[in-house]
Structure 1
Amino acid sequence: MIVIAITGASGVIYGIRLLEALKELKIENSLIISDAAKTVINSETDYKIEGIIDLADNYYDFNDLTASVNSGSFKADGLVIVPCSMKTLSSIANGYGANTITRVADVSLKERRPTIIVPRETPLRSIHLQNMLTLSQEGAIILPAMPGFYSNPKTLDDQIDFIVGKILDSLKIENNLFKRWE
């Protein structure tokens, strides 16, 4: 069971593609979409929110702090926040679990589960980098959406799959979403 959180940052397509990949791989997932992410999804993609939710095995409301996914006893193999807004990143780095996403991240880190943060686009301020360092020191994997070009991508989809493949690699999930270095 992989928990996926999509926040209101540019790059929501990475989260959507990760849901599609997990469905293709038949790996159970749970999904949380922030209110701001819904706005970004409508702005950056042609996907409908209901269609994205349908890709998930379980869906949790962004503001439901009583949801089972918020508990340390909830069985999850990892958490991916993709994309991760700087507001969410700051909240997690400072232990502020004010919504379902930041609470799940707090639990994931305290339970020492794989926690992958895919920060939003550049540029970054020093405080953003400091918050990423804090989370890295707590065990989170900081995975910026920086596509590699050694696989000679031909399309935007190739570049998206490269990042999603790297996320799956970090979760130790076998995949063939990108051409590996030979």
Structure 2
Amino acid sequence: MRIVIGITGATGTVFAIRLLQLLRELNVETHLIMSRWAMATGKYETPLTEPDILSLATHWYAPRDLSAPIASGSFVHDGMMIVPCSMKTLAAVRAGLCDDLISRAADVSLKENRKLLLAVRETPLSDIHLDNMLALRRAGAVIFPPVPAFYTGPKTIEDIVDQSVGRMLDNFGIHTNGFKRWDGFDWKGKKEEQAAAAKREVASASG
């Protein structure tokens, strides 16, 4: 399997790092582009250096290298993820503005009917942001805000990151066991917990 990864300057570099680590563990070939602002933002969010992050990928390219293989539709891959995806990159992809390698590779993914996932990172969202997301969703892209799933009972930032990254991989048919999945309400356990709590209240009141 072969996947293209784009990292932009939006906050959330940790998601991209964990994604690259998991894909390497799974022996998935990765082609990485880090934007100039991704490199700048990463300095504030992770102790890893730019060379450290680039080394996690099978191949990496300069963000302005439009001669790279991934800039062509004839380069076959199984999809692309932009993690995190800034609103600037979102707008560029929506407009077909291929002025750097990330937006060009994303444009190619759409025109070749390949999977494209955008882990959008912004809040609150303006009309323009939402309109861009809707247009890209209609064009076939997966809009994936990395929203925490608190039903998993996360104890650390890593737990939150693993759950989001695991769900991203699900969209590419790569299923891992590195995070807790929803399996329905434990009604029996909930009733037992409520009964125990009621007994404690009675005991406390009578004491």
Tell whether the structures are fold-level matches, with TM greater than 0.5.
yes
Q: What's 2:116 paired with?
A: 115
| TM-score after normalising by structure 1 | 0.98
- Residues in 2 aligned to 1:20 and 1:126: alpha-carbon distance in whole angstroms: 35
TM-aligned CA deviation for residue 123 of structure 1: 1.2
Is 1:161 aligned to residue 174 of structure 2? Answer: no
- Large movers: runs of 4+ above 2 Å: none
Cα shift at 1:121: 3.0
For the 8 Å contact 1:64–1:99, the answer to whether it is kept is: yes
* Residue in 1 that maps onto 2:101: 100
| Deviation of 1:118 (Å) | 0.4
Larger Rg: 2
C-alpha distance after superposition, 1:7-37 (max 9, x if no partner): 0001111011100010111111110000000
CA RMSD of aligned residues (A): 0.7
- Write the letter of the residue equivalent to 2:161: I
Structure 1: which 5+ residue stretches go unaligned? none
How many pairs align? 182
Q: How does 1:15-164 map to 2 (within 5 A)?
A: 15-164=16-165
Give the structure with the higher percent helix: 2
What's the CA shift for 1:116?
0.1
SS of 1:64's partner is coil
TM-score, normalised via structure 2 length: 0.86
Give me the whole-angstrom Cα distance separating, in 1, the residues matched to 2:124 and 2:13.
17
Deviation at 1:122, TM superposition (A): 1.3
Distance 2:44 2:77 in 1: 31
Q: Which runs of 5+ in 2 are unaligned?
A: 184-207
Q: What is the percent sequence identity of the aligned residues?
A: 49
Work out whether residues 87 and 122 of structure 2, in 8 Å CA contact, stay in contact via their aligned partners in 1.
Answer: no
CA distance in 2, matches of 1:120, 1:72: 27
Corresponding letter in the other structure for 2:42: I
Structure 1 residue 177: Cα displacement? 2.2
